[in-house]
């Protein structure tokens, strides 16, 4: 296992925020709208043009806000402290700082606000959105060197808001993919998929098996892969009403891993695949961006765009990179 470099830690956190922020203006829209935004606008920005700040403010959303809080909490506490993280989730909702929220997470935050313990605040099954997975990359950063701890923390951080086993497995998938990408273990695609599936099986067998099917799905171009992945884990007659990829944890995590694995060595190709298909695209952008950023490092991200990232004017490039550097320092010194 390689000791991850500082640029990979930065790439992971900035890559998450950038994918999220590029998906934000078109969240919930269909493929036409999303691909038009991505290929007619974002591509030019990516290639060096300055974004029109009315069209793109650099604001990222709840996915990266809650990932950032998780990373900050783990650094401050020297490891995962569920009580501290639950307080941070509660505070960001109570203070109305959350940008675009998930239903289960909002409900859990309300439970926490009225004094319910973090052990009981989460939504019970069958609520299975991607709220745990979208914020799980920092678990892979902090525990890249200890799979057992990584799996446990990925589950526990998720439990605060979602109690469905699929949500735990989705969190393990993104944390595990991040850990492997950071340590140079994404080169061998089959081994990467098998490892993640093995770790996910601690919590959900069905989701783990569907993840193994990625070995075949990544051979398909996006338009062919969309049908099986967007239907994965749903009963044949289930209609969720979303275009593209819905916030269901199974399809959105699988689509994000697909986008990364098919275009591993290009951050842009990976996130544009994740987002252009439509649906819950700030989240597919965030999850794909975290793993692709961890694999390719900060230099794969255009600095004139990462410099514009912000959360209501604060928590921009300087603060995000300082946080990533701190984690790197603690974990590699
Ligand atoms: Mg979001």
CA distance 216 to 213: 6
Judging by beta carbons within 10 Å of its beta carbon (0-12, 13-18, 19+), is residue 197 exposed, middle or buried? buried
Which CATH number is 231's domain given? Answer: 1.10.4080.10
Q: What's the CA-to-centroid distance between 286 and ligand 1, angstroms?
A: 8
* pLDDT at residue number 34: 98
Range of the domain at 299: 6-332
CA distance 25 to 17: 13
Q: What's the CA-to-centroid distance between 3 and ligand 1, angstroms?
A: 31
Q: What's the CA-to-centroid distance between 189 and ligand 1, angstroms?
A: 28
Question: Does residue 168 carry a pLDDT above 90?
Answer: yes
Determine, yes or no, domain membership for 226. Answer: yes
Mean pLDDT over each residue of the chain, to the nearest integer: 97
Determine, yes or no, domain membership for 246. Answer: yes
Residue 101 pLDDT class (50, 70, 90 cuts): confident
Q: Supply φ then ψ for residue 56, to 5 degrees.
A: -150, 115
Contacts 24+ apart (CB under 8 A), 45-51: 45/302, 45/305, 46/268, 46/302, 46/305, 48/302, 48/304, 50/304, 51/305, 51/308
Determine, yes or no, domain membership for 130. Answer: yes
Determine, yes or no, domain membership for 170. Answer: yes
Please state the pTM of the whole predicted model: 0.98
Q: What's the CA-to-centroid distance between 1 and ligand 1, angstroms?
A: 32
Determine, yes or no, domain membership for 1. Answer: no
Determine, yes or no, domain membership for 269. Answer: yes
CA distance 70 to 80: 8
Question: Does residue 286 carry a pLDDT above 80?
Answer: yes
Look at residue 227 and give its three-state secondary structure.
helix
Determine, yes or no, domain membership for 256. Answer: yes
**Chain position carrying tokens 């959900």:** 204
Q: What's the CA-to-centroid distance between 20 and ligand 1, angstroms?
A: 7
Q: What's the CA-to-centroid distance between 247 and ligand 1, angstroms?
A: 10
Q: What's the CA-to-centroid distance between 134 and ligand 1, angstroms?
A: 8
Q: What's the CA-to-centroid distance between 99 and ligand 1, angstroms?
A: 7
* pLDDT at residue number 333: 85
Query: Per residue in 173-216, pLDDT tens?
Result: 999 999 999 999 999 999 999 999 999 999 999 999 999 999 99
Q: How many domains does the chain have?
A: 1
Question: Does residue 140 carry a pLDDT above 90?
Answer: yes
For the chain, give the percent of residues with pLDDT over 70. Answer: 100
Query: Per residue in 212-271, pLDDT tens?
Result: 999 999 999 999 999 999 999 999 888 889 999 999 999 999 999 999 999 999 999 999
Determine, yes or no, domain membership for 177. Answer: yes
Question: Does residue 1 carry a pLDDT above 90?
Answer: no
Q: What's the CA-to-centroid distance between 271 and ligand 1, angstroms?
A: 15
Q: What's the CA-to-centroid distance between 260 and ligand 1, angstroms?
A: 19
């Amino acid at each position: 296992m390689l000791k991850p470099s500082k640029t990979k830690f930065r790439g992971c956190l900035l890559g998450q925020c950038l994918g999220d922020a590029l998906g934000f203006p078109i969240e919930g829209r269909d493929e036409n709208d999303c691909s038009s935004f991505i290929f007619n606008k974002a591509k030019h920005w990516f290639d060096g043009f300055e974004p029109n700040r009315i069209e793109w403010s650099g604001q990222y959303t709840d996915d990266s806000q809650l990932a950032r809080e998780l990373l900050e909490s783990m650094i401050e506490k020297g490891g995962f402290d569920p009580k501290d993280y639950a307080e941070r989730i509660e505070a960001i909702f109570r203070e109305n700082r959350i940008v675009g929220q998930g239903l289960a997470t909002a409900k859990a935050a309300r439970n926490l606000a009225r004094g319910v313990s973090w052990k009981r605040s989460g939504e019970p099954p069958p609520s299975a959105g991607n709220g745990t997975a979208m914020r799980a990359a920092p678990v892979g950063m902090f525990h890249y060197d200890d799979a057992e701890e990584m799996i446990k923390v990925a589950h526990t951080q998720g439990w605060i808001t979602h109690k469905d086993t699929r949500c735990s497995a989705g969190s393990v998938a993104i944390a595990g993919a991040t850990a492997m990408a950071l340590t140079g273990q994404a080169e061998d695609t089959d081994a990467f998929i098998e490892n993640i599936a093995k770790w996910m099986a601690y919590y959900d067998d069905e989701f783990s098996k569907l993840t193994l099917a990625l070995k075949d799905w990544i051979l398909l171009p996006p338009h062919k892969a969309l049908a099986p992945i967007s239907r994965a884990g749903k009963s044949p007659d289930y209609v969720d009403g979303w275009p593209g990829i819905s916030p269901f944890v199974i399809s959105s995590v699988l689509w994000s891993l697909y986008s990364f694995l098919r275009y591993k060595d290009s951050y842009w190709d990976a996130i544009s695949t994740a987002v252009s298909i439509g649906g819950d695209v700030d989240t597919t952008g965030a999850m794909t961006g975290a793993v692709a950023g961890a694999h390719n490092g900060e230099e794969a991200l255009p600095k004139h765009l990462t410099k514009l990232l912000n959360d209501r004017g604060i928590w921009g490039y300087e603060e995000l990179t300082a946080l990533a550097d701190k984690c790197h320092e603690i974990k590699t010194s």
